[in-house]
């Protein structure tokens, strides 16, 4: 054993990325989100779905932190807890204010939470569902400005026009309704709305998954440009490893509510330490017909988070599973600087990464 596994709570804070000297903008510590399962006439609680179970990570200022995993792994729930669209069951979410004051988002009262939302915004996956069809672009993009008493009248008009220009839309269209726009344009509108209050942190929840291939590239480039221009920090949630690879500085892989591996993007893709990460990398369809088509395919399905397997949650599907995996839950331990993995054999396995 090269490294001794340390307790997950303090080992899991990966300080990675280019701007690590500036420190973390957001720290999530031991976040838990358990949804009760109610049954029967009295709606008695018979169990819990552990959608997010002890998740710890930190997002360095000015970087893009990716959360990747399959459906039901808790990545979106984590994103929603971070901006408190959901109130977490337990854990700390610490956001560093511009004056370096740490703020505990999980403990804010409604009034301070509203103030807080100026700093943190979210962009959703489905631009057809996240824009109100009865409001014009001006109303949609201007709404945050009006609600927060930032601007009105002509000033509001000018600001909305400027925002629309920033995301590559024509300001003349501000009196139109969302139905007149295509999926990619709608996602631009969502981005304009998110940028209205000059936030510093944006949670992007699968922002390109619902878009066509040719439009996906436009939005990814826009997200990158806006980051440079406004010095934004992103929590980028996605299931597509190629997209993650393209946009993120560091990544956490989630499986059944837990982070199973976390590292810088380069490191994670080059030298995965968790068998699930390896399987995810193997499963990506590669747009190259000359590549060998036959490869290892992960068996079985993602377990039900209401009734996860014993020991390591991944053991029923894992090709390297041993007896210990069935009984003991592995801790999230650091195996290389800034590279943590939740696997008993992370130090011994020689897993296949990408040659990049």
Name the site residues for another protein (rule: CB under 8 A).
70-71, 182-185, 212-218, 220-221, 224, 239-243, 245-246, 265-266, 269, 279-280, 282-291, 293-294, 297-299, 301-302, 354-356
CB of 297 to another protein, least distance (A): 5
The neighbour count for residue 270, using CB atoms within 10 Å, is 13
CA–CA separation, 283 vs 274, rounded Å?
Answer: 15
**Between 109 and 228, whose beta carbon lies closer to another protein?**
228
CA–CA separation, 276 vs 315, rounded Å?
Answer: 10
CB of 167 to another protein, least distance (A): 14
CB of 258 to another protein, least distance (A): 17
Whether the Cβ atoms of residue 178 and residue 189 lie closer than 8 Å to each other: yes
Residue 45 Cα distances to 38, 86, 126, 256, 310, angstroms: 4, 19, 32, 21, 22
**Between 102 and 231, whose beta carbon lies closer to another protein?**
231
**Between 82 and 280, whose beta carbon lies closer to another protein?**
280
**Between 185 and 340, whose beta carbon lies closer to another protein?**
185
**Between 34 and 239, whose beta carbon lies closer to another protein?**
239
Can you say whether residue 316 is alpha, beta or left, with left for phi > 0 and alpha for psi between -120 and 50 degrees?
alpha
CB of 221 to another protein, least distance (A): 6
CA–CA separation, 172 vs 306, rounded Å?
Answer: 50
**Between 4 and 71, whose beta carbon lies closer to another protein?**
71
CB of 182 to another protein, least distance (A): 4
**Between 84 and 271, whose beta carbon lies closer to another protein?**
271
CB of 48 to another protein, least distance (A): 21
CB of 309 to another protein, least distance (A): 15
**Between 103 and 215, whose beta carbon lies closer to another protein?**
215
**166 Cβ contact list (under 8 Å, min separation 6):** 192, 195, 226, 229
**Between 22 and 218, whose beta carbon lies closer to another protein?**
218
CB of 188 to another protein, least distance (A): 10
CB of 203 to another protein, least distance (A): 20
């Amino acid at each position: 054993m090269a490294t001794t596994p340390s307790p997950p709570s303090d080992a899991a804070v990966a300080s990675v990325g280019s701007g690590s000297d500036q420190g973390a903008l957001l720290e999530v510590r031991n976040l838990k989100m358990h949804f009760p399962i109610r049954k029967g006439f009295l709606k008695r609680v018979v169990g819990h779905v552990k959608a997010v179970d002890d998740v710890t990570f930190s997002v360095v200022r000015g970087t893009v932190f990716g959360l990747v995993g399959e459906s039901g792994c808790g990545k979106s729930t984590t994103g929603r807890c971070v901006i408190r669209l959901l109130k977490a069951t337990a854990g700390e979410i610490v956001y560093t204010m511009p004056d370096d004051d740490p703020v505990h988002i999980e403990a804010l009262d409604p009034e301070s939470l509203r103030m807080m939302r100026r700093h943190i915004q979210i962009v959703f996956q489905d631009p057809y569902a996240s824009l109100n069809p009865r409001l014009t672009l001006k109303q949609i993009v201007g709404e945050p400005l009006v609600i927060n008493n930032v601007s009105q009248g002509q000033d509001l008009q000018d600001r909305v026009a400027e925002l629309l220009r920033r995301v590559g839309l024509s300001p003349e269209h501000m009196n139109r309704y969302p139905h007149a726009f295509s999926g990619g344009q709608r996602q631009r509108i969502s981005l304009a709305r998110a940028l209205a209050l000059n936030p510093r942190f944006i949670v992007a929840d699968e922002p390109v998954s619902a878009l066509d291939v040719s439009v996906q590239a436009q939005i990814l480039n826009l997200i990158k440009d806006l980051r440079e221009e406004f010095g934004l920090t992103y929590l980028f949630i996605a299931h597509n490893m190629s997209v993650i690879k393209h946009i993120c500085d560091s990544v956490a892989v989630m499986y059944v509510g837990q982070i199973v591996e976390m590292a810088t993007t380069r490191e994670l893709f080059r030298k995965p330490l968790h068998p699930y990460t390896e399987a995810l990398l193997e499963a990506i369809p590669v747009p190259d017909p000359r590549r060998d088509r036959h490869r290892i395919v992960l068996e079985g399905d993602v377990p039900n988070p209401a009734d996860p397997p014993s020991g390591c949650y991944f053991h029923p599907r894992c090709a390297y599973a041993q007896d210990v995996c069935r009984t003991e839950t592995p801790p999230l331990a650091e195996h290389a600087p800034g590279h943590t993995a939740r696997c008993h054999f992370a130090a011994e396995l020689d897993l296949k990464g990408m040659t990049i």
